Amino acid sequence: MSIPIDVRVQAEPFDEAAEQKALVTGRFDIGAVVAFTGYCRDEGGRLEALELEHYPGMAEEEITRICREAAERWPLLSLRVIHRFGKIDPGEGIVLVLASSAHRAAAFAGADFVMDFLKSRAPFWKKEHGRGGTAGDWVSAKDEDENSLARWV
Amino acid sequence: MSIPIDVRVQAEPFDEAAEQKALVTGRFDIGAVVAFTGYCRDEGGRLEALELEHYPGMAEEEITRICREAAERWPLLSLRVIHRFGKIDPGEGIVLVLASSAHRAAAFAGADFVMDFLKSRAPFWKKEHGRGGTAGDWVSAKDEDENSLARWV
Amino acid sequence: MKVVYFAWLRERVGVPEEDIAFPVEVSTVSDALNHLISLGENYAYAFERPSLIRAALDRKHAKPEAPLAGAREIAFFPPMTGG
Amino acid sequence: MKVVYFAWLRERVGVPEEDIAFPVEVSTVSDALNHLISLGENYAYAFERPSLIRAALDRKHAKPEAPLAGAREIAFFPPMTGG
């Protein structure tokens, strides 16, 4: 079954509330929405900002593939993902994943699954900008993100 | 470690966006927020509304106990739960659970855990009001909600 | 002792709460439930399926064997359906 | 064939993208990577740890043994760190 899948890759901040409202307004079959928001941390004051590079085109396509896979695995009613690129300040949102379903278990599983695969499969790379203009290092991929995927096989 | 735990039981609708904003504003250590919203469904047009009865006092206390338990199990940074009572129309939110953490795994687990225990342990009871003013039936507890708790032992 | 009821249990008993002086031999939640059943048909109807009854003592979940000693309020209700 | 690079791989190679005419014997992603290494020091530096290199063919993840045949664009990049 085909459900609404809305994927956006953008430089602009997103508005969680407006996105969730758009997802549920006029629908009376949705019983559960899980919204995951990933924020930029300052790492104990060390970070000035994160800069996100992405692969235009592939980023949207890969996230859409992950969403379709989630929709096949669980009885979801809709999925919406927004991922930002460019410079992001501490406290700002980087990524938003919204999963809706009639019941909570599928909504939790769908959002969790999409985030896990997005972390290791969506073509985005983070560079750190330190306080005081220190040159940025690229963030290394975490083994735990790869290991986390093993939960779904 | 003691984290901010904010529990409210109220008749009024809640504003997910304002609640999430209050949770994260001014904090630069939060990397992940999972927001669960439970909505009133119309059950294919059969339902006019749900009416929620609760045990005043115990409802807040029991949800707070569940939140404390979650905070002991996972490295959460804050928890916020709002549960409504009274008459609720299809499409309206019934319950909101917000869990924040530095990383996504704890935020997902914390919100999921709180919802599971809230379903079977928080003293709320739902009565259905059918279309056309038909007399309401009390919703029966689902075995699957009890079984779901087994995931956490 | 203050006794409170919720949901269909409240509807069947007919009152949301009442004060009941339990006899001295009533020492547990289960004893209290059995005593209530003896008070009349509305109680017998409300408590006809004990496996569906949950209880709380002073706003904390309590098992059938929990002692009443020291508690000021006992609540009876069906399995919860919030969330 | 269009070749694109991202993150520190792009910085090390020195260009975000370029057109490269691979020799006919270059038939897989792995072959393409080895051919690039032969092109100069910047490439050798960029690809010095092949286990850290990921690739995509026409915007889909591709394994080292994936054939290039038919693809118009090949991308090389480090393990992803989005989300």
pLDDT digits (tens), chain A, 153 positions: 689 999 999 999 999 999 999 999 999 999 999 999 999 999 999 999 999 999 999 999 999 999 999 999 999 999 999 999 999 999 999 999 999 999 999 999 999 999 999 999 999 999 999 988 776 899 998 887 878 888 887
Among A41-55, A137-151, B4-18, D32-46, which stretch is predicted with the lowest mean pLDDT? A137-151
Q: Where are the beta strands (DSSP E) in D1-83?
A: 2-5, 17-19, 54-57, 60-62, 73-77
Residue of B nearest to C7 (CA): B125
Contacts of B68 (CB under 8 A, 6+ apart): B5
Per-residue pLDDT at A151: 87
Cβ proximity of D65 and D30 under 8 Å: yes
Q: Which residues pair with A33 in a beta bridge?
A: A100, B37
Q: Tokens 């509305």, residue?
A: C42
Q: What is the pLDDT of residues C36-76, one digit of tens each?
A: 999 999 999 999 998 899 999 999 999 999 999 999 999 99
B138 has a pLDDT exceeding 90 = yes
The shortest CB-CB distance from A112 to any of B25, B102, B108 is to B108
The shortest CB-CB distance from D7 to any of A83, A120, A138 is to A138
Question: The pTM is what?
Answer: 0.95
Q: What is the pLDDT of residues C1-25, one digit of tens each?
A: 999 999 999 999 999 999 999 999 9
- Collapsing DSSP to helix, strand or coil, C72 comes out as coil
Per-residue pLDDT at B150: 83
B29 has a pLDDT exceeding 70 = yes
Over residues D25-48, the mean pLDDT reads 96
Q: Where are the beta strands (DSSP E) in B24-120?
A: 32-39, 47-54, 76-84, 86-88, 93-101
Residue of C nearest to B137 (CA): C8
- Collapsing DSSP to helix, strand or coil, A65 comes out as helix
Q: Tokens 């009572």, residue?
A: B85
**D81/A61 touch (CB, cutoff 8 Å), yes or no:** no
| Domains of chain B and any CATH numbers | 5-150 (3.90.1170.40)
Contacts of B128 in chain C (CB under 8 A): none
CB atoms within 10 A of CB D49: 8
Q: Which residues pair with C62 in a beta bridge?
A: C55
What is the residue-wise DSSP string for A11-71?
A: SS---HHHHHHHHHTT-SS--EEEEEEEE---TTTTEEEEEEEE-TTHHHHHHHHHHHHHH
Per-residue pLDDT at A1: 62
Domain edges within chain D: 2-77
Cβ proximity of A37 and A93 under 8 Å: yes
Q: Please, what is the average pLDDT of chain B?
A: 94
B1 has a pLDDT exceeding 70 = no
B147 has a pLDDT exceeding 90 = no
Contacts of D77 in chain A (CB under 8 A): 55, 123, 125
DSSP β-ladder status, D73-77 and D2-5: parallel
B135 has a pLDDT exceeding 80 = no
Among candidates A54, A46, A114, which has minimal Cα distance to A79?
A114
Q: Which CATH superfamily is domain D2-77 in?
A: Beta-grasp domain (3.10.20.30)
What letter would DSSP give residue A107? H
Over residues B41-65, the mean pLDDT reads 96
Cβ proximity of B22 and B78 under 8 Å: no
Q: Is A139 on the interface with D (CB under 8 A)?
A: yes
Per-residue pLDDT at B87: 96
DSSP alpha helices (H): ranges in B25-93? 58-73
ipTM score of complex: 0.94
Q: Which residues pair with B7 in a beta bridge?
A: B81
**C81/B54 touch (CB, cutoff 8 Å), yes or no:** no
Per-residue pLDDT at B59: 98
